[in-house]
Amino acid sequence: GEDVEQSLFLSVREGDSSVINCTYTDSSSTYLYWYKQEPGAGLQLLTYIFSNMDMKQDQRLTVLLNKKDKHLSLRIADTQTGDSAIYFCAENWSGSARQLTFGSGTQLTVLP
Amino acid sequence: DGGITQSPKYLFRKEGQNVTLSCEQNLNHDAMYWYRQDPGQGLRLIYYSQIVNDFQKGDIAEGYSVSREKKESFPLTVTSAQKNPTAFYLCASSIGLAAPGPGYQETQYFGPGTRLLVL
User: What's the pLDDT score for residue B101?
Assistant: 64
Q: How far apart are CA A9 and CA B73, in angstroms?
A: 36
Q: Is the pLDDT of residue A5 over 60?
A: yes
Q: How far is B30 from chain A (nearest CA, A)?
A: 11
With a CB cutoff of 8 Å and minimum separation 6, the contacts of B79 are B18, B63, B64, B65
Contact B96 A102 (CB under 8 A): no
- Cβ–Cβ gap B50/A97 under 8 Å: yes
Share of residues in chain B with pLDDT > 70 (%): 92
Is residue A7 classed exposed, middle or buried when 0-12, 13-18 and 19+ CB atoms within 10 A define those classes?
middle
pLDDT digits (tens, 9 = 90+) for A61-78: 999 999 999 999 999 999
* CB contact at 8 A, B107 and A48: yes
**Closest C-alpha to A102, from B91, B60, B88, B41:** B41
Is the confidence at residue A1, as pLDDT, over 60? Answer: no
Quick one: which H or E segment has residue A57?
Answer: strand A55-58
Helix (H, G, I), strand (E, B) or coil at A22: strand
Q: How confident is the model at residue B73 (pLDDT cuts 50, 70, 90)?
A: very high
Q: What is the mean pLDDT of residues B28-35?
A: 94
- Residue among A20, A32, A43 with most chain B CBs within 10 A, to mutate: A43
Contact (Cβ atoms closer than 8 angstroms) between residue A79 and residue A109: no
Mean residue pLDDT across chain B: 91
